[in-house]
Amino acid sequence: MTTETPSAAVSDAPGPRRPRTARLAVAATAFVLAAADLAFKAAAEHNLTGGRSIDLGLLDLRLGYNSGAAFSLGAGLPSWVVLAVTGLITAGVAVFAWRSASTASWPVLMGLSAVLAGAVGNLSDRAGDGVVTDYLHTGWWPTFNLADVCITLGAVTVALAVLREDMPRRQGR
């Protein structure tokens, strides 16, 4: 018998769990987000041709292509180099998520799955023609896509979750 309410007994703190369940959740989340990214890229390439732009208020849908990595880093390099480097990074994230499945908290795992989804989406897109399709344009920031959003929000989620989990240890508890 316990005095804790059921909601208090469920925790997102790190601890042992069934790695198979966690790995399946990471893979499924990454797959769904990567598939959505690729679908949006295909829709953008189909509907935003000829310089067509759609104003959504805070941002526009405007087609663009990036031959480099984030913020066009490496744009002058041969596409196979960018593809190889981003492929290695993607593989590293996948291995880290796989190995962390039994001990990392759910927020960390979901953040990793978002990063993995974005990396897979951009890698798959780049593998086709050497460039990544971008379509979200703010006017004050480089044009980006759903994969970039996944990578950014996933990395922020991982960082915040790790900081949150580390706070009690830092405070001496």
Q: Which of 37, 55, 60, 134 is catalytic?
A: 134
Is the Cα torsion angle 140, 142, 143, 146 positive or negative in sign?
Answer: negative
Phi, psi of 12, deg, nearest 5: -100, 10
User: How far apart are the C-alpha atoms of 167 and 170, rounded to whole Å?
Assistant: 5
148 has catalytic annotation? yes
Terminal-residue alpha carbon distance, the chain: 27
Within 10 A of 110 (CB to CB), how many other CB atoms are there? 20
Rounded Cα distance, 14 and 103, in Å: 5
Q: Tell me the β-bridge partners of 60.
A: 55, 137
Task: Tell me whether residue 60 is one of the annotated catalytic residues.
Answer: no
Q: Which residues make beta-bridge pairs with 113?
A: none
Q: Which residues participate in catalysis according to the annotation?
A: 134, 148
